A and B are shown apart, each in its own frame.
Chain A
Amino acid sequence: SQQGEEDPQALSIQEGENATMNCSYKTSINNLQWYRQNSGRGLVHLILIRSNEREKHSGRLRVTLDTSKKSSSLLITASRAADTASYFCAAYGNNRLAFGKGNQVVVIP
């Protein structure tokens, strides 16, 4: 089954800096999704990129997808303290959504 894997797993940055997270997956996908999870809360969908897309933007989020390398990256620009959370990529294919291990991002005010 597909399994996203993020790298690095922990990131600490100053407010205003950019945060970049990477993810790899193993098999063919329909799309690649990113979710955010605040401490003790459920996951919230952030952005989805289809397998035929290479880059997508949504507000301060930028996601890229390289299907030849089976990898994706999530960039959060001008980070804020409220961006402190865990971020998970999820590979969707064969009617199943498989999550990676997650990146913990701490934004220091």
Chain B
Amino acid sequence: EAGVAQSPRYKIIEKRQSVAFWCNPISGHATLYWYQQILGQGPKLLIQFQNNGVVDDSQLPKDRFSAERLKGVDSTLKIQPAKLEDSAVYLCASSPFSPGLAGNTGELFFGEGSRLTVL
């Protein structure tokens, strides 16, 4: 079974430029997450999708970050314009369970991440 695919693995941009990351979850997984992981810290949830709908984007800096999952499969996370403090690894994760569904353990399957450096 193929895992969560992310691209690009690495990206270097200058501040005020824009960047986009792509994620393809495990086939059949209804729920998709984007996490931001700053060096030396744990992952912080940015946004959670169930199919093509947003479940939780309370921690997404909406003035510069946007994400979509139009067809309920793959997803794109965009940052525009980027700031120095956006330097981080952006992790995509998926789950076969929907939020609130009985039996949902919350276990996530992560991709390798996209490392962003903003200069």
Contact = CB atoms under 8 A, between A and B. Distances in A.
B61 to A, nearest CB: 16
Interface majority SS on A: helix, strand, loop or mixed? strand
A71 interface: no
Interface string B76-119: 00000000000000010100000110001111111111010000
B44 A99 contact: yes
Interface in A42-78: 42-45, 48
A92 interface: yes
A41 B42 contact: no
Measured as residues with beta carbon below 8 angstroms from the partner, the interface class of chain B is: 20 to 34
Contacts of A98: 45
A44 B110 contact: yes
Interface in B34-48: 35, 40-45, 48
A43 B110 contact: yes
